[in-house]
Chain A
Amino acid sequence: MSVVSAGIGTADEPAVDADPTLAGSGGTGSGPRPPRRGATRGRATPVGGRTASVLLWVYAAFALVPLLLMLSSSFRSNGDLISNPLGAPWPLSFDAYREAWTTGNFATYFGNSLLVTLGAVVLSTTVSTMAAYALARGRSRIFRWLESLFLSGLMLPIHLAILPIFYLFDGVGLVDSRMGLALLYGASGVPFSIFVLTTFFRQLPEELEEAATLDGASPWQTFWRIMVPLVRPALATVAVFRFVPIWNDFLFPLVLLRDDSKYTLPVGLTQFFGENATNYSAVFAGLVITTLPLIALFLVATRQIVAGLTAGMSK
């Protein structure tokens, strides 16, 4: 795990730094609120004291309440919502979910989103890990050149290329295909994944491979048996962090998919909202269904997502 904080977990470093600082402020500082008066050294004094604490929690509520309202409204009936928009969701009603999941086709959209997103994440993580290993270890100048070629893709606004992508897909029969979408997302994830993974491979000592080669391992065995297990934390970061934008993407499925049995959630949701805009509770249920996997992912992998958000900050 130490590899994570050494590499891209920039957000972790302040937390590590802060602890000795706190301890250093002596017996006065019991946690984050040392007495304000007389704290002349003031090293660990949080700015703004208790008022700021309250403000920070109020802001947290402001960030969360709309999402909680979405959740609670999805458990209420439509009539109930219209007569009292701010009422409590008791007793819980699952009718809205039943309606969205079956008649609203969200079961289909959900399956499509899962298929496309997982396919793309597995694809881009696999090819990027192989490439990143070679880029980190290759000594020839061509690898430097290839690395900058891949990294140039980090800032490319790929959505602007939607027309050529459309005609490319049209030419090879990938329009209206979930596999086409997965290939496209897999390709668009390559620059970020290579960027993160190359950094990680560079931190591993070369003696590992030398030892493996002496023992008669082939390059592939060395890579697969020894190197890949060592960068597992980085693989998790890359996979989790790529999952979110692919799951949420809207323009590509909007343009590249035709048949609504192939729609992913954002496009299916748009269709459902267009046809059922006044069936509020079912729409809320659809919003929750679209969001839930990401929240679940966030709860199990906060660390990876935060690491991904701050990747490259150390540069």
Chain B
Amino acid sequence: MNRRTGLLFVTPALALFGVFVLYPMVTAFSYAFYEWQGTARGGWAGLENFSALLTRAPFTTDLPRALLHNVLFFVGTMLVQNTIGLTVAFLLHRRARTRRALQTLYAMPYLVSPIVIGYLWTLLLSPTFGPVNTLLTKVGLESWALPWLGDPDTALWVVILVSVWQWIGFPVLLYGAALGGVPEELSEAARVDGASNLQTFRRVTLPLLVPAIGTVSVLTFIFAMEAFALPYAFGGSTGNPAGSTDFISLLFYRTAFDSGAPDAIGTSSALATLLFVVIFGGAYAATAVLRRHEKRITS
């Protein structure tokens, strides 16, 4: 295929991608550095919009709180999916007959819209009519039948655990694929030398899984920083109850579309830029560390 024909083939995709993805992504950042009056763009603002995020209400209270929730979301998800997810993948490994069926079942909730998942668990956990609390009462755990989503102390953890429940099939699948790539001879050799199953896993298999764990961590980080639909379904755009399920994306949404502040475009774009820097910086740093590790184990 010559160059001219090739470019003709690429043009429709390039036009679509350029207009609806690249152009908005690039302008998104420029918005943050201008003064805004409603939808009218004023002069160059430098870092003024960014400093507003650090000095002005409601950002001074909402931003650190939302950021903390995003971080907790990431840490909580990592802890659960790397313990339960890895254990499940490890137990599934070598169960040739049932593995595919079980992996498929674990992946089912992943298909469902986060909005549906949020409303479903809101209903399941409802204190008035709620199968979960009804069940807890029936088996004699009345003291556990709490208004899980109404209490600011527990609501965030419900959001995090429900999210893990929805997504766990993904790490199970990726860890499963990675385990399949670990040469059988290695763990066999360890076992011949008298290592127990657990020792073999810790000393032989786990180090070889680090690249997969790294991939999952980077994707989880991006996912946790962008959390929007699930918390929206649980606590609305204000992170009810009492801001306990607020996240940066919700704060961004409120600032951009609900606040009515005259410079809403400027400050919300600054927030989006900040979030992008955090996501990109975090993902980039993690990938760099991983590359170095991969080099070490392959050399």
Binding site for B on A (CB under 8 A): 10-11, 13-15, 17-19, 21-22, 31-32, 41-48, 52-53, 55-57, 59-60, 62-64, 66-67, 69-70, 73, 81-82, 85-86, 123-124, 126-128, 130-131, 133-135, 137-138, 140, 142-143, 146, 149-150, 153, 155-165, 167-168, 183-184, 186-188, 190-191, 194, 209, 219, 223, 244, 247-248, 250-251, 255, 265-266, 269-270, 273, 280, 283-284, 287, 290-291, 294-295, 297-298, 302, 305-306, 309-310, 313
Give the docked Cα–Cα distance between A31 and B16 (Å).
51
B34 within 8 A of A: no
What does the 1/0 interface line of B166-181 toward A look like (CB < 8 Å)? Answer: 0011100110111111
Taking CB atoms, residues of chain B closer than 8 Å to A188 are 20-21
Interface size of B by CB at 8 A reads 100
Contact A290/B93 with A123-B16, A194-B13 known, Cβ cut-off 8 Å: no
A159 with B14: CB separation less than 8 A: no
B177 with A10: CB separation less than 8 A: yes
The 10 closest A-B pairs by CB, nearest first: A14-B180, A187-B20, A248-B113, A131-B13, A134-B9, A161-B24, A138-B6, A134-B6, A164-B24, A127-B13
Taking CB atoms, residues of chain B closer than 8 Å to A295 are 108, 111
B59 within 8 A of A: no
Contact of B31 among A127, A163, A270, A297 (CB under 8 A): A163
A158 with B21: CB separation less than 8 A: yes
- Least CB distance from A106 to B in Å reads 13
A183 with B16: CB separation less than 8 A: yes
Contact of A163 among B90, B222, B272 (CB under 8 A): B272
B193 within 8 A of A: no
Give the docked Cα–Cα distance between A22 and B17 (Å).
47
Give the docked Cα–Cα distance between A162 and B272 (Å).
9
A163 with B17: CB separation less than 8 A: no
A269 with B108: CB separation less than 8 A: no
B119 with A283: CB separation less than 8 A: yes
What does the 1/0 interface line of B78-105 toward A look like (CB < 8 Å)? Answer: 0000000000101111111111101111
Q: Is the interface of B mostly helix, strand, loop or mixed?
A: helix
Give the docked Cα–Cα distance between A52 and B179 (Å).
17
Beyond A22-B96, A163-B31, A290-B116, 16 additional contacts (C-beta under 8 Å) are: A11-B177, A31-B97, A41-B188, A47-B93, A48-B91, A56-B98, A85-B131, A126-B12, A143-B10, A153-B22, A161-B21, A161-B27, A165-B20, A168-B23, A186-B20, A247-B113
Taking CB atoms, residues of chain A closer than 8 Å to B222 are 155, 157
Give the docked Cα–Cα distance between A17 and B93 (Å).
11
Output the nearest chain B residue to A244 by Cβ-Cβ distance.
B111
Taking CB atoms, residues of chain B closer than 8 Å to A266 are 113, 115-116, 229
B129 with A47: CB separation less than 8 A: no
B191 within 8 A of A: yes
Output the residue of B98, B123, B169 with the most chain A CB within 10 A: B123
Contact A18/B96 with A66-B124, A156-B25 known, Cβ cut-off 8 Å: yes
Output the nearest chain A residue to B18 by Cβ-Cβ distance.
A187
B290 within 8 A of A: no
B256 within 8 A of A: yes
Give the docked Cα–Cα distance between A298 and B119 (Å).
22
B229 with A15: CB separation less than 8 A: no
Contact of B17 among A138, A191, A209, A248 (CB under 8 A): A191
Give the docked Cα–Cα distance between A44 and B94 (Å).
6
A160 with B276: CB separation less than 8 A: yes
Output the residue of B21, B105, B257 with the most chain A CB within 10 A: B21
Give the docked Cα–Cα distance between A32 and B13 (Å).
48
Give the docked Cα–Cα distance between A63 and B265 (Å).
41
Task: Give 19 A-B contacts (CB < 8 Å), ordered by A residue.
Answer: A43-B184, A47-B91, A56-B91, A56-B92, A85-B134, A130-B10, A130-B13, A140-B6, A158-B25, A160-B252, A163-B268, A163-B269, A190-B21, A219-B9, A248-B113, A280-B123, A291-B111, A310-B174, A313-B215
Taking CB atoms, residues of chain B closer than 8 Å to A31 are 97
Contact of B13 among A63, A128, A164, A248 (CB under 8 A): A128
Contact of A291 among B9, B116, B124, B131 (CB under 8 A): B116
Taking CB atoms, residues of chain A closer than 8 Å to B130 are 85
Give the docked Cα–Cα distance between A149 and B18 (Å).
10
Give the docked Cα–Cα distance between A312 and B184 (Å).
23
Taking CB atoms, residues of chain B closer than 8 Å to A45 are 94
Give the docked Cα–Cα distance between A81 and B99 (Å).
36
Output the nearest chain A residue to B93 by Cβ-Cβ distance.
A47
A15 with B100: CB separation less than 8 A: yes
Contact A43/B31 with A158-B21, A251-B228 known, Cβ cut-off 8 Å: no
Output the nearest chain A residue to B237 by Cβ-Cβ distance.
A254
B275 within 8 A of A: yes
